[in-house]
Amino acid sequence: MPLRSDQFFVLTGGPGAGKTTLIEALGRRGFATTVEAGRTIIRDQAEIGGPATHQNDPALFAEIMLAFDMQSYRQALDKKGPVFFDRGITELAGYHRMMGLPTPAHFRAAAERFRYNTKVFVAPPWPEIFANDGERKQSFGEAVSTHDASVRIYAEFGYEIVPLPKASVENRMRFVLAELGL
C-alpha cells in the first residue's frame, strides 16, 4: 500500500540549480525540510574512504541514497504541516537510467510506495549560478542530464512538473508558496 503525503513537496533538478539554497530559505521561514541524501553520503564516504560515490560505484551510491531517503520520508511523517524535500525517492529510478544501469525492481517499488504531493518543483539548469564544490563534481552537461532524467521519471510516475523560475531565492520561495497556496 502506498505511503502518501499531500503535504510532502519535492524540489529537484540538476546539481547547481539552486535547490538546496531554496530548501534552506524555506527552512529559515519555519517550514520543515529534509537534506539531500547525495551530499551527505558523499561527505560521509570521503571521511572514511568509502566507495559509495557517483564516480566510484553509482549502484552502491544509489542503494545508500534509497535507504537514506526512505528514512527521511518516514521521519517526515511525524512532522506537522508541509515538508520540503531536497530531491525524492522517485528520481533514483531515473538515476539508474542516466548512469546506463538497469533499474532494480525495488527502486520502482519504493517510488510507488513512497509518494509525494503531485506537484514537483524542478529547478532548471542555470549556467550563471552553476558551480562545483566539495561534493558537487559534475560538469554542467551532467547537471543538464540529471535535470532531464528527473523530469522524465517524475512525469512517468504521474507527477505534475512545475518549473521554478530563474529568479532570486526570495522570488523562487514566493513562487513555490503561491503555487501551494501557503
What are the extents of the domains in the chain? 3-180
Say if residue 146's pLDDT is above 90: no
Kindly indicate the confidence band of residue 135, based on its pLDDT and cuts at 50, 70 and 90. Answer: low
Q: What is the pLDDT of residue 1?
A: 64
Report the range out of 12-21, 52-61, 62-71 with the highest average pLDDT: 62-71
Quote the CA–CA distance of 13 and 164 in Å, as a whole number. Answer: 10
Contact assessment for residue 10 and residue 87, using Cβ atoms and an 8 Å cutoff = yes
- Kindly report the CATH class assigned to 3-180: alpha beta
Say if residue 88's pLDDT is above 70: yes
Q: Ramachandran region of residue 18, left (φ > 0), alpha (ψ -120 to 50) or beta?
A: left
Q: For residue range 64-73, list pLDDT tens digits in order.
A: 999 999 999 9
52: β partners: none
Backbone phi, psi, residue 83, to 5°: -125, 130
